[in-house]
Structure 1
């Protein structure tokens, strides 16, 4: 009877531990400000990297759960520490959905790449997961809030569209590169330890 209960549980103890630890890391990076690396003229975020790591190590459901917690934290942070774009991040479609997708996309990208070169598979998954975050959030902001974004910054809608696209490029590429540089050694070390 006890074995049947263990098999029917959605997550095992290791997976729950990983969800808790990596979600805590992501939240700590956000609260402390350590999750933002200044790369002039922008600040690249690394808060999504725990989601990618969890997905590669434990699968899309674990990655999705870490992303869900990261997304919920984004909503709470938008409410408790509002910025001019607060209205964007209180919408779970913008702040939660892309963060859940980070874990799912990273996992399936990692598994879709065959071959013996694990570091390349991890790197590609990290880059794609990072870009999922960047373009998911900014793409939804563009689709849903571009006119309100223009009003907040007192610019034309055309300028707002160009601005959002520019942020996607100037933030997205450095964030993807940092994700690759951090994720490869962490995942490789954990995989080596697990053997």
Structure 2
């Protein structure tokens, strides 16, 4: 029985890793264009993994996304900004790992005090999304407060902070809301299925 559970667990983890890879390479799956915004959905897969399988597995799926982002910055940049900032694993990999850890820890911690899982899921999704946005944008500003990066954002160096703040206020908050809606909707049946097989 224990071997069956382990095999099942690894199968689910493998499927979620495959999904994050597909999302990264198929633009419509990984990024949803909504008006002037392009909302990423990859963080939602990491959050769902963290809620269903736990923070370590969430970190693994996030790490896979981060490593792909890092490799693509050298080989197939997804934007003019990618070769400038995502070649640094602190920007491309570390925030993605922390999405899984923060979302997973938040969910487990809140489940100890809030028995209905929907509220912990929503808070974990918000925490995971904010972790990604704040760490990526924060590291970009910290390590790449340079004219080249400012130019990639279409501003001069003096306005880089304002540009990053605008991204947080638009994309960042929209991605947080998206995660808060979608992650619990998908994680709820997956958790039921996962617990049923334990």
State the TM-score, normalized to the length of structure 1.
0.88
Distance 2:63 2:76 in 1: 19
When the two chains are superposed, the root-mean-square deviation of aligned CA atoms in Å is: 1.9
Equivalent in the alignment of 2:104: 107
The 4+ residue runs of structure 1 with deviation greater than 4 A are 151-154
**Partner-residue secondary structure (3-state), 2:144:** helix
Matched, 1:39 2:34: yes
Distance 2:149 2:39 in 1: 21
Distance 2:87 2:67 in 1: 9
* 8 A contact 2:84–2:149 mirrored in 1: no
Q: For residues 147-173 of structure 1, give each alpha carbon's deviation from its aligned partner in whole angstroms, at most 9, with x where no partner exists.
A: 141254563222111101111121111
Matched, 1:122 2:117: no
* 8 A contact 1:48–1:99 mirrored in 2: yes
* 8 A contact 1:18–1:54 mirrored in 2: no
The size of the alignment, in residue pairs, is 187
Distance 2:93 2:63 in 1: 6
Segments of 5+ residues of structure 2 without an aligned counterpart are: none
Q: For residues 26-77 of structure 1, give each alpha carbon's deviation from its aligned partner in whole angstroms, at most 9, with x where no partner exists.
A: 1111211121112222111001111111111111111111111010111122
Segments of 5+ residues of structure 1 without an aligned counterpart are: none
Equivalent in the alignment of 1:155: 155
* 8 A contact 2:16–2:45 mirrored in 1: yes
Alpha-carbon shift at residue 17 of structure 1 (Å): 2.2
Q: For residues 121-154 of structure 1, give each alpha carbon's deviation from its aligned partner in whole angstroms, at most 9, with x where no partner exists.
A: 1011011101111111111111101214125456
Matched, 1:171 2:171: yes
